[in-house]
Amino acid sequence: MNGAREALAGDPLFAGLSGTELDLIAAAARPVRLGARERVLREGDPARGCWLIHSGCVALDLAVPGRGQVVVQTLGRGDVLGWSWLVPPYHWQFGAVTVQPTTMTELDTAQLQAVAEQDPRFGYTLTLALFGALALRLQATRARLLDLYRVPDGQP
Amino acid sequence: MASPDRTGAREPMLPVPYQVTSRQAETHDSVTLRLDPLGERLPMAQPGQFSMLAVPRIGEVAISASGVPQPGEASLEHTIRAVGAVSRALHDARPGTVLGVRGPFGTTWDLPSAAGRDLVIVAGGVGLAPLRPVILGALAERDTYRRVCLVAGARTPAEFLFRRELDAWACHPDLEVDLTIDQPSAGWNGQVGFVTEPLARLRLDPRRTTAFLCGPEPMMRFCAQGLLRKGIAAGDIRLSLERNMQCGIGLCGHCQLGPILVCRDGPVVGYALAGPLLSIGEL
Amino acid sequence: MTAPQPAGPVVITRDGLDGLVEALISDGYQVIGPTVRDSAIVLSELDSAGALPAGWGVETGPGLYRLRRRDDAAVFAHSAGPGTWKQFLHPPRRQLWSTDADGGYQPAQTPAPRYAFLGVRGCDLAAIRILGRVLGEGAHPDGAFTRTRQALFVVAVNCTEPGGVCFCASMGTGPAAGPGYDLALTEQSDESGHWFVAEAGTAEGERILAKVPQRSASVAEKEEAKADVSEAAQRMGRAMPPVDLPALIRESVASSHWEDVASRCLTCGNCTMVCPTCFCTTTEDVSDLTGDHAERWQHWASCFELDFSFMHGGSVRQSGASRYRQWFSHKLGTWHEQFGSSGCVGCGRCIAWCPVGIDITEEAARLAGVDPDPGQDPA
């Protein structure tokens, strides 16, 4: 899967991985091409797979009674889509739908987990890479929680 | 008439009357005012500089220039958000109102020093106002710069400043524009996320990138860290800082941030100097 | 304004000092000097040298200032009074401008005073030089300050009577008066009499001195005056530790020391009021009831005020620890980067007038991890 291997090598997410480790991931990877407004994940479905986005835009959404499908986050090039395959109860907590035509690499997470069982060192490196992406997402989410752009209270 | 000071310049604490000649509402709490001199003209503010705007009987605040000097014109352009007594009075000022202006003061974004480089302009909330002169300056001499990338964040779609211009810039063939909102908002088909996220997605060449950041301090800190992660040098990251200002001319002491007087050594400060200072609580 | 070959030091008598004050007054100067009032030695306009605090000295220490009777009639043998010369050069309240219904801004019509300061010790003379750099040498000098200072006549005194809180010697500002005086006096008082060794530093100083009965000082008199001053340098109440303070302060930004001081500091701001170099101000807009006439005033401010650093809904420096750190770090540290020298002249006023007796030299020593210098006999 030469194209997938190249796409992975060029992704900053996997900058710390060795050639062999990239090969292992590439073996579980396949390219995905979607048009606009195509649903990638449905909230509540069993969580299988994760995606590295190369181009386009994907919206994470949630059904909120009275507000319909609320988009809580959009993702683009360089972002990882899908964490719940690692976390019990292994169901998607949010939905995901493309906003524009989008290209991604889909990873067979069941296969990757099987490899990780046999090769804990690989599992650790892969998890660390994903963890880094998650940490930045959390930092950005916390920054949004601060509501920094609001009008400050308590005036002179 | 005010007696000149040692440099032969006018008395810097004495405002000059300027009249509001146009008032453009930007959002529910922000307006852009165009001010024209009634007599005496002040030097034009360069991108990054600020003026002290006075509302008689109420007070005076430091507001960055949000426009660029136009050849043959003496108008000043300032975008003001109503957050306190003085800024609310400025926000409410109708055309014909006479305000007092002092300035321009402070350091500039020094856009010319980034000639031949890629510009990354990151604005958070009303931080877009002091950065608008950078965008306008780059557009006015587009060939002088390589890529020009704008990342602008706002709370909700309705809170973007310069909405019409932003839409035009988003369609401009020579500008890369990412707009993003913090709060999920119905009817918005654009990006949702903190400004650091579209910023992280930009593929930048650290050897030829200069970044200009303006917004709440935590936002600028996060963005600067994100740029450093991309290999961009601290010396190539410029921030616009803010502190309590009473005089704007380095005499009252209020705007100190460690060794810096923000009115004199800022508001535009390089991240190499500003970064360590901003990371100290209550400095 | 260079003096043509000034004559050497002369001796003037105590009556001669009266004559000096008279000469200044008749020359149109407003003479400001020390005088006793409200159980302290304060700076005030003098109509004659008779108002000087003859025979009064002070006892000073951390949180302590007391007048005490001396057994002579010395007039300059005191220190660390609550007022400083800055109140005349940089007034506590000053109008900046006014505006009326027509919308124009009128600068305040305050006449530039012509002061003669009588009795400026080395520390205070250094403070005047420092204020000159801060307020007069930036890109936007304070015009009122500059005009007042240009018209100023300074009679300095070389100090022979250091006080319990004094540390000018370790700050390099005294006890001898540095440059910047028109006249310098060294007071001499013993069983043989009461006189002053006087020296002009400028042409204007020469001119005024010439009006006072005088005779050349003998070699012995000159030597003794010098010796008294050098000897005073050995009798300082305390000393600033000889460390690189700006570097120490930069490294100490996260020190627990600040919380320690904060447990004692009341953030009352006395130190900033009595400090001869603290210059911070705040502007205030006032108007009459009709709203037609408005004025902007400028008044002294203190970085200890809770809203000094107010911005966007709250102050940047809210805790007492951060505010004390700001004052200390600015005075002894960042002042160097901002204005090219230390902001502290070693006058010790902040120590005497602190209600809880916080000693800036002791805090510096603690920060540096050295033993505080206990100093010589406190005065």
Question: CA-CA distance, A95 to A109, in Å (whole number)?
Answer: 18
First to last CA, chain C: 39
* 3-class DSSP state of C149: helix
Supply the pLDDT for residue B7. 42
- Residue C307: how many CB atoms within 10 A of its CB? 15
Among residues B194, B202, B261, the alpha carbon closest in space to that of B229 is found at B202
Specify the DSSP class assigned to residue A151: P
- Of all helices (H) and strands (E), which one includes residue B166? helix B163-171
What's the order of all strands across the beta sheet hosting B59-64?
A: B59-64, B50-55, B98-105, B16-27, B30-37, B76-81
Please tell me if residue C307 touches chain A, with a CB cutoff of 8 Å: yes
Phi, psi dihedral angles at C128 (to 5 degrees): -65, -40
Phi, psi dihedral angles at B212 (to 5 degrees): -125, 120
Among residues B232, B233, B252, B254, the alpha carbon closest in space to that of B243 is found at B254
Does residue B1 register a pLDDT over 50? no
Q: Which of residues 309-338 of C touch A (CB under 8 A)?
A: 310, 312-314
Q: How confident is the model at residue B4 (pLDDT cuts 50, 70, 90)?
A: very low
| Residue A91 buriedness (CB in 10 A; 0-12 / 13-18 / 19+) | middle
- Residue C337 has its nearest CB partner, among B38, B259, B281, at B259
Supply the pLDDT for residue C5. 54
- Residue B14 has its nearest CB partner, among C107, C291, C313, at C107
Average pLDDT over all residues of chain B = 95
**In this predicted model, what pLDDT tens digit does every residue of C176-219 receive, in sequence order?**
999 999 999 999 998 889 999 999 999 999 999 999 999 999 99
Residue B42 and residue B16 in contact, taking contact as beta carbons nearer than 8 Å: yes
Chain B partners within 8 Å of A143 (Cβ): 194, 196, 218-219, 222
- Residue B282 has its nearest CB partner, among C301, C317, C333, at C317
Chain position carrying tokens 């908002």: B185
Supply the pLDDT for residue B8. 43
Question: What percent of chain A stands above pLDDT 70?
Answer: 96
Domain boundaries in chain A?
A: 2-109+118-142
Phi, psi dihedral angles at A62 (to 5 degrees): -145, 140
Q: How confident is the model at residue A13 (pLDDT cuts 50, 70, 90)?
A: confident
The tokens describing B119, both together, are 């510009």
* For helices B217-229 and A120-145, angle between their N-to-C axes, nearest 10 degrees: 150
Please tell me if residue C285 touches chain A, with a CB cutoff of 8 Å: no
User: Residue C347: what residue type?
Assistant: C
Supply the pLDDT for residue A11. 85
Supply the pLDDT for residue C372. 65
Q: How far is B48 from chain C (nearest CA, A)?
A: 18
- Which residues, in sequence order, are bridge partners of residue A73? A60
* Domains observed in chain B: 16-105 (2.40.30.10), 111-278 (3.40.50.80)
Please tell me if residue C69 touches chain A, with a CB cutoff of 8 Å: no
Chain C partners within 8 Å of B247 (Cβ): 281, 283
Contacts of A among chains (3+ CB pairs under 8 A): B, C
Contact B126 A143 (CB under 8 A): no
Chain center to CA of B35? 17
Chain B partners within 8 Å of A79 (Cβ): 197, 201
- Residue A77 has its nearest CB partner, among B188, B190, B201, at B201
Question: Which CATH superfamily groups domain A2-109+118-142?
Answer: Jelly Rolls (2.60.120.10)
First to last CA, chain B: 40
- Of all helices (H) and strands (E), which one includes residue B17? strand B16-27
Q: How far is C204 from chain A (nearest CA, A)?
A: 49
Contact B256 C310 (CB under 8 A): no
Specify the DSSP class assigned to residue A46: B
Query: Strand pairing of B16-27 and B30-37?
Result: antiparallel
Nearest CA in chain C to B59: C285
Average pLDDT over all residues of chain C = 93
Interface probe with C: pick from B254, B260, B269, most Cβ of C within 10 Å: B254
Give chain C's residues under pLDDT 70: 1-7, 371-379
Supply the pLDDT for residue C104. 86
Phi, psi dihedral angles at B15 (to 5 degrees): -70, 155
Supply the pLDDT for residue C133. 97
The tokens describing C338, both together, are 């901002």
Please tell me if residue B215 touches chain C, with a CB cutoff of 8 Å: no
Contacts of B among chains (3+ CB pairs under 8 A): A, C
Size of interface A-C (CB pairs under 8 A): 9
Does residue A58 register a pLDDT over 70? yes
The tokens describing C151, both together, are 């018209």
Interface probe with B: pick from C105, C109, C256, C288, most Cβ of B within 10 Å: C105
Supply the pLDDT for residue C378. 43
Q: What is the dihedral of CA C147, C149, C155, C161, to 10 degrees?
A: 150
DSSP E strand stretches across A18-122: 29-34, 39-41, 50-55, 58-64, 68-75, 80-81, 95-98, 102-107
Q: What is the mean pLDDT of residues B229-253?
A: 97
Chain position carrying tokens 């991240």: B271
Q: What is the mean pLDDT of residues A75-103?
A: 95
Q: How far is C306 from chain A (nearest CA, A)?
A: 12
Nearest CA in chain C to A151: C312
Contact C311 B7 (CB under 8 A): no
Q: What is the mean pLDDT of residues B136-161?
A: 98
| Binding-site residues on chain A for chain B (CB distance < 8 A) | 57, 59, 67-68, 70-79, 99, 136-137, 139-141, 143-144, 146-152, 155-156
Distant-in-sequence, close-in-space partners of A145: CB < 8 Å, separation ≥ 6: none
Residue C359 and residue C353 in contact, taking contact as beta carbons nearer than 8 Å: no
Question: What would the DSSP string read from start to end of C70-123?
Answer: -SS--SS-----S--THHHHS-SEEEEEEE-TT--EEE--PPPP-EEEEEEEHH
* 3-class DSSP state of A27: helix
Does residue A107 register a pLDDT over 50? yes
Nearest CA in chain B to C314: B244
**In this predicted model, what pLDDT tens digit does every residue of B160-197 receive, in sequence order?**
999 999 999 999 999 999 999 999 999 999 999 999 99
Question: What percent of chain B stands above pLDDT 70?
Answer: 96
Contact C330 B246 (CB under 8 A): no
